[in-house]
């Protein structure tokens, strides 16, 4: 088994000048697809679950799925990481479950009932992050902290107001907390809707932060590329258009087939149209791979990807269900979803430069990492 700590994986990445993908998981197929890609390309890996994912799959289920993967793929050095740990208690729960690394997201106040969370003060962020660091390091578990806030509209880890990371504060934050890695806000956001026309990512800020804290690996959240081919493909499965022609009057075009309707059914027609058309993905842009590669050249070592995986899975499933509507065996559409994730992760591993790096080092046990922290 090649369980590794996040600290070791990222420190090795810093030595080698590459980045490591941190992929979010919720189910078995995602875990299997990601591990298969890492194994084939001999890449280290960070597999991460948000607390919502832990709740969705069930604490024990997710723990055992991840454990099964580490046993099946013993050559992949892998960190099991909690993404956006909202508070000390939930970080502690995941450490007890066997995660080798946690993120405490002290940048936001997760106790707020609002959908978008208010930012926490620098002092409060330092206090909760240090509490998690002191606890985790006793067990050799690594900690990622976050300074600055990311926007985004689809998940809980979205701030009411975007605040880019202040490089001076980054220095003080790392000194006062002892975090192993720092997530920085540089203009990216979570979810599919990052940029409308042109991505604006503050690589200059990454450079300055890296100069201030050269020994702390930086983390880029919200790093999905949201490829246009993918969103366009996804839209083709759900587009309904309405029209009128001489042959049979008004119709709904659903997946390329015309369904003629009587005027009396116009309410139903509008309902179907709203249901499908309004739910289409809007035009959007994600983070270009080149920007991530520039980040990597300037100290980014962990690259968080969730949305691209979600889009891949959904597109693969819709493709089967729409082209072969007679299928109802879940394996018929879950297998292609596993394959889609596998292909996506392979592409990211190659782009981030971590391919062929898994044999560069031997993963240190958490016991050994504990000794590293004691020094």
> Known catalytic residues?
83
In this chain, which of 3, 157, 303, 366 binds ligand G3H, going by CB under 6 A?
Answer: 157
Number of Cβ within a 10 Å radius of residue 200: 11
Structure tokens that stand for 368 in this block: 């050994």
Identify residues 325-344 at the interface with ligand G3H (CB under 6 A): none
Q: Edge-to-edge strand order for the sheet containing 249-254?
A: 240-245, 249-254, 257-260
What does 128 interact with, of Zn ion, ligand 13P, ligand G3H, none (CB < 5 to 8 A by kind)?
none
Return the number of the residue (84 or 301) whose C-beta is nearest ligand 13P: 84
Write down the least CB distance from residue 49 to ligand G3H, Å.
8
For residues 218 to 247, the per-residue mask of contacts with ligand G3H, x marking binding by CB under 6 A and - elsewhere, is ------------------------------
> Which CB atom, from 44 or from 286, has the smaller least distance to ligand 13P?
286
Binding status of residue 53 toward ligand G3H by CB under 6 A: yes
Cβ pair 354, 13 in contact under 8 A: yes
Strands 101-104 and 45-50: unpaired
What's the closest the beta carbon of residue 84 comes to ligand G3H, in angstroms? 5
Q: Which residue has the tokens 């270009």?
A: 288
| 191 close to 154: Cβ distance less than 8 angstroms | yes
Q: Which of 20, 68, 67, 17 is nearest to 44 (CA)?
A: 20
Q: Which of 166, 306, 308, 319 contacts ligand G3H by CB under 6 A?
A: 306
Q: Of the two residues 194 and 269, which places its CB atom closer to ligand 13P in the complex?
A: 194
User: Smallest distance from the beta carbon of 155 to ligand 13P, in angstroms?
Assistant: 7
303: helix, coil or strand? Answer: strand
Beta pairing, strands 189-190 & 249-254: unpaired
What angle (nearest 5°) sits at the alpha carbon of residue 281, between those of residues 335 and 258?
Answer: 85
Nearer to ligand G3H, 8 or 188 (CB): 188
Would you tell me which residues interact with ligand G3H (CB under 6 A)?
24, 50, 52-53, 83-84, 155-157, 190, 306
């Amino acid at each position: 088994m090649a369980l590794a700590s996040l600290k070791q994986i990222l420190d090795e990445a810093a030595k080698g000048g590459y980045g490591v993908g941190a992929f979010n998981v919720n189910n078995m197929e995602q875990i299997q697809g990601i591990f298969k890609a890492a194994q084939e390309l001999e890449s280290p890996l960070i597999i991460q679950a948000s607390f919502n994912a832990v709740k969705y799959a069930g604490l024990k289920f997710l723990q055992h799925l991840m454990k099964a993967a580490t046993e099946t793929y013993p050559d992949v050095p892998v960190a099991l990481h909690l993404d956006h740990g909202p508070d000390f208690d939930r970080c502690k729960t995941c450490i007890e479950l066997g995660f080798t690394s946690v993120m405490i997201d002290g940048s936001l106040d997760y106790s707020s009932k609002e959908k978008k969370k208010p930012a926490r003060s620098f002092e409060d962020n330092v206090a909760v992050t240090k509490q998690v660091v002191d606890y985790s390091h006793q067990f050799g578990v690594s900690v990622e902290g976050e300074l600055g806030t990311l926007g985004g509209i689809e998940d809980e880890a979205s701030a009411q107001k975007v605040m880019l990371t202040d490089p001076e504060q980054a220095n003080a934050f790392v000194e006062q907390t002892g975090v192993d890695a720092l997530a920085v806000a540089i203009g990216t956001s979570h979810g599919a809707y990052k940029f409308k026309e042109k991505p604006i990512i503050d690589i200059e800020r990454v450079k300055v932060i890296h100069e201030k804290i050269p020994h702390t690996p930086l983390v880029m959240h919200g790093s999905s590329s949201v490829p246009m081919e993918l969103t366009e493909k996804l839209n083709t499965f759900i587009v309904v258009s309405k029209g009128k022609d001489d042959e049979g009057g008004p119709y709904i075009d659903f997946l390329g087939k015309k369904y003629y309707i009587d005027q009396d059914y116009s309410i139903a027609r509008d309902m179907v149209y709203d249901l499908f058309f309004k739910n289409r993905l809007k035009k959007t842009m994600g983070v270009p791979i080149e920007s991530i590669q520039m980040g990597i050249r300037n100290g980014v070592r962990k690259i968080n990807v969730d949305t691209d995986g979600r889009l891949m899975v959904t597109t693969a499933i819709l493709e089967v269900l729409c082209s072969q509507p007679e299928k109802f065996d879940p394996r018929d559409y879950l297998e292609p979803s596993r394959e889609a994730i596998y292909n996506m992760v392979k592409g990211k591993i190659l782009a981030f430069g971590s391919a062929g790096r898994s044999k560069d080092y031997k993963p240190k046990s958490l016991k050994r990492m504990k000794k590293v922290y004691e020094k």
